[in-house]
């Protein structure tokens, strides 16, 4: 199949293998090279980069990444794609495919050097994958992911907004989050029922707040969004084993209202509260 474009080659191979996409694995493929090239332009991936791709599928984006990056490792869960990926990536010496669950694999060990993540994510793993990219301590420089538009909006939500949630707080603690493009269902095969968005998370070298004890701050964020209808004082006493009185005092000494709800707090306020709980 030399000389045939990667998009067409993927279609021919999927047909030849009589491949049926698995909805449960979030298999909505992007086979349009023009669209993928535009997304990769937005990502800024270049010849110095080592790139981790989650879920290469039929490998069209993997081919395009291989032409741009120094090295590409693609982690795919579905073994049925092995013969297709083998043919698609023949001759691409800088690509390695690892068959594993990206949520369980040690991605830092697989990469072995600082890396960037690029993926048309299976949507069912979005929140877990983002938390893993951000909180694992892997040397990740940036994350460029296709997600459901609704998930993108959640990660972009600001304190006080209805969608402000743990995922948004974590994303914005670790990274500058930007929506780069909206992508309609028609771009995918098969088409999902929702709009999608290509999101950038540029990991900070200097985070926007610097809690004295990061682990405590992260626990506090989880507690803050744990039970939305309860006050933060209640969540604090449940999660940190504080008496109601001690929880209220911690809030007051951080300059917060004793009846405040966690989901109303900014990152700065969570940081102040964490530092006041020494």
Task: Candidates 74-82, 162-170, 237-245, 261-269: pick the segment binding ligand SAM (CB under 6 A).
Answer: 74-82
Kindly state whether residue 12 participates in binding ligand SAM, applying the rule CB under 6 A. no
Kindly state whether residue 57 participates in binding ligand SAM, applying the rule CB under 6 A. yes
Kindly state whether residue 157 participates in binding ligand SAM, applying the rule CB under 6 A. no
Kindly state whether residue 195 participates in binding ligand SAM, applying the rule CB under 6 A. no
Kindly state whether residue 7 participates in binding ligand SAM, applying the rule CB under 6 A. no
In the complex, what is the shortest distance from the CB of residue 163 to ligand SAM, in angstroms, rounded to a whole number? 23
Site string for ligand SAM, 16-55 (x = CB under 6 A): ---------xxxxxx-----------------------xx
- Residue 215 CA from chain centroid, whole number: 21
Kindly state whether residue 103 participates in binding ligand SAM, applying the rule CB under 6 A. yes
| Nearest to ligand SAM of 88, 232 (CB atom) | 88
**Interface residue with ligand SAM, options 125, 187, 199, 203 (CB under 6 A):** 125
The answer to whether the annotation marks 128 as part of a ligand binding site is no
Kindly state whether residue 249 participates in binding ligand SAM, applying the rule CB under 6 A. no
Rounded-to-integer distance, Cα 175 and Cα 186, Å: 30
- What are the residues binding ligand SAM (CB under 6 A)? 25-30, 54-58, 60-61, 75-78, 101-103, 120, 122, 125
The annotation places the binding site for S-adenosyl-L-methionine at 28, 30, 55, 76, 101, 120
């Amino acid at each position: 199949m030399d000389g045939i474009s990667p998009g067409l080659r993927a279609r021919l191979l999927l047909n030849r293998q009589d491949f049926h996409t698995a909805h449960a694995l979030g298999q909505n493929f992007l086979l349009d090279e023009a669209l993928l090239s535009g997304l990769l332009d937005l990502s800024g991936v270049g010849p110095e980069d080592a790139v981790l791709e989650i879920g290469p599928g039929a490998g069209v984006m993997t081919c395009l990444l291989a032409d741009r990056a120094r090295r590409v490792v693609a982690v795919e869960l579905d073994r049925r794609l092995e013969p297709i990926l083998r043919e698609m990536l023949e001759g691409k010496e800088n690509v390695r495919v690892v068959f594993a669950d990206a949520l369980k694999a040690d991605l830092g060990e697989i990469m072995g050097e600082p890396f960037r993540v690029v993926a048309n994510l299976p949507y069912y793993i979005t929140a877990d994958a983002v938390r893993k990219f951000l909180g694992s301590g892997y040397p990740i420089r940036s994350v460029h992911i296709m997600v459901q538009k609704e998930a993108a909006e959640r990660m972009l939500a600001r304190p006080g907004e209805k969608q402000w949630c743990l995922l948004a707080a974590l994303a914005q603690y670790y990274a500058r989050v930007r929506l780069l493009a909206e992508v309609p269902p028609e771009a995918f095969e098969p088409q999902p029922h929702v709009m999608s968005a290509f999101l950038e998370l540029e990991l900070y070298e200097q985070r926007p707040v610097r809690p004295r004890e990061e682990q405590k701050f992260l626990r506090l964020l989880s507690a803050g969004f744990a039970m939305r209808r309860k006050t933060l004082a209640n969540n604090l006493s449940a999660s940190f084993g504080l008496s109601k009185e001690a929880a209220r005092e911690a809030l007051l000494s951080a300059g917060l209202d004793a009846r405040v709800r966690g989901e109303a707090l900014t990152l700065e306020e969570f940081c102040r509260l964490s530092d006041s709980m020494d």
